[in-house]
Amino acid sequence: MEPCQPSFDLLDPVLVSIGPIPIRWYALAYIAGLFGGLFYLIQLVKRPQLWSRDANTAAAPYDRRFLDDLLLWVMVGVIGGGRLGYVLFYQTAAIWERPLWVVTGITEGGMSFHGGLIGVALAMVFTARAHKAPLMRVADGVAAATPIGLFFGRLANFINGELWGRPTDLPWGMRFAADPLCLERHPSQLYEAGLEGLALFGILVFVIFRLRGLARPGLATGVFLAGYGVFRSLVELVREPDAHMPEALQGYVTMGMILSLPLIIAGGYLIWRAFNRAPVGGTARPAEA
């Protein structure tokens, strides 16, 4: 069978090779996301008025030293959790069929957002306890910065020609070289970059800068979790369904939807909780008669 001719020549997944070591766009996307997120979080920490309603006592709940330590453990959580999550959620049989590939196959791609989220959550708990920092406020800062990493990560998926969408006859449908059917498909990677990355980042900017959301612990985290869960579930409607799902569910429910449902529920609870408690530096809500 001849390889599928893509709609246009995408960037080579390998930017440059240094001897036997390939430098891939996928790896660079993770670096850009992590350090871009760190830079943005530093800017938030430099604005103490965002973290409290009382201008006289406003202060960020952690400093640059804490963020540097957090970055290290978040990197471990993203890579380790993302890879293990991908294997457990999508390639379970690989654990006993080709266990070495679980580690070595990371160079081919294969990372799970939901696994990475669990890894980052553990990293936040570990770092917050080590520095005696308020965990929920650490989570709010990380949530505010995470869409930056999601944006670059989805662009890397597109460059790799992976995680394409379902067949479509829309004018922007694309053929991907690795598609064995060579069909015009939704560029679902770009949909996710726009929704999970740009749109979710914009929503969080509004919550943080216009609604002073960082003064309500848990609000930014809740908006991120619920927003990601909704956007991911919407894109799953046009993303190529998981082949390993039970046949009766194929076409209706995907693994991405199943894993996103708890995020939507948890996010909704955190939003409700944040608005039913007094903001930092604010006054408590009057009791109902």
Q: What are phi and psi of 112, to 5 degrees?
A: -110, 130
Q: For residue 158, report the phi and psi dihedrals to the nearest 5 degrees.
A: -65, -45
Q: Which two tokens stand for residue 37?
A: 């997120």
Question: Is pLDDT of 250 > 70?
Answer: no
Rg of the chain on CA atoms, in Å:
21
The strand pairing partners of 21, in sequence order, are: 18
Name the phi and psi angles at 287, rounded to 5.
-70, 145
Residue 95 lies in a domain: no
Residues facing residue 248 across a β-bridge: none
User: Where residue 289 falls among pLDDT bands split at 50, 70, 90?
Assistant: very low
In this structure, the dihedral spanned by the alpha carbons of residues 122, 66, 143 and 123, taken in order and rounded to 10 degrees, is -10
**Is 65 annotated as contributing to ligand binding?**
no
pLDDT attached to residue 248:
43
Residue 16 predicted with pLDDT over 70: yes
In a domain, 144, yes or no: yes
Determine which of 66-75, 195-204, 262-271 has the lowest per-residue pLDDT on average. Answer: 66-75
Q: Which residues, at least 6 apart from 201, have a Cβ–Cβ distance to it below 8 Å?
A: 147, 148, 151
Would you say residue 45 lies in a domain? no
Residue 37 lies in a domain: no
- The total number of structural domains in the chain stands at 1
pLDDT at residue 11 above 50?
yes
Judged by average pLDDT, the poorest of 12-16, 84-88, 163-167, 256-260 is 12-16
50 belongs to a structural domain: no
pLDDT number for residue 55 = 76
Position 190 in a domain: yes
Q: Is the pLDDT reported for residue 51 higher than 70?
A: yes
Can you give the pTM of this predicted structure?
Answer: 0.87
Q: Is residue 151 part of a domain?
A: yes
| Average pLDDT of the residues of the chain | 86
- Residue 287: per-residue pLDDT: 40
Per-residue tokens: 244: 């390993």
Place of tokens 């973290």: 51
pLDDT band for position 286 (cuts 50, 70, 90): very low
* 116 part of a folded domain: no
The count of other CB atoms within 10 Å of the CB of residue 29 is 20
> Which tens digit of pLDDT belongs to each residue from 162-171?
888 999 999 9
From the number of C-beta atoms within 10 Å of its C-beta (0-12, 13-18, 19+), residue 271 rates as buried
Range of the domain at 240: 134-276
Q: Over 90: is that where the pLDDT of 186 sits?
A: yes
- Of residues 161 and 198, the one with the higher pLDDT is 198
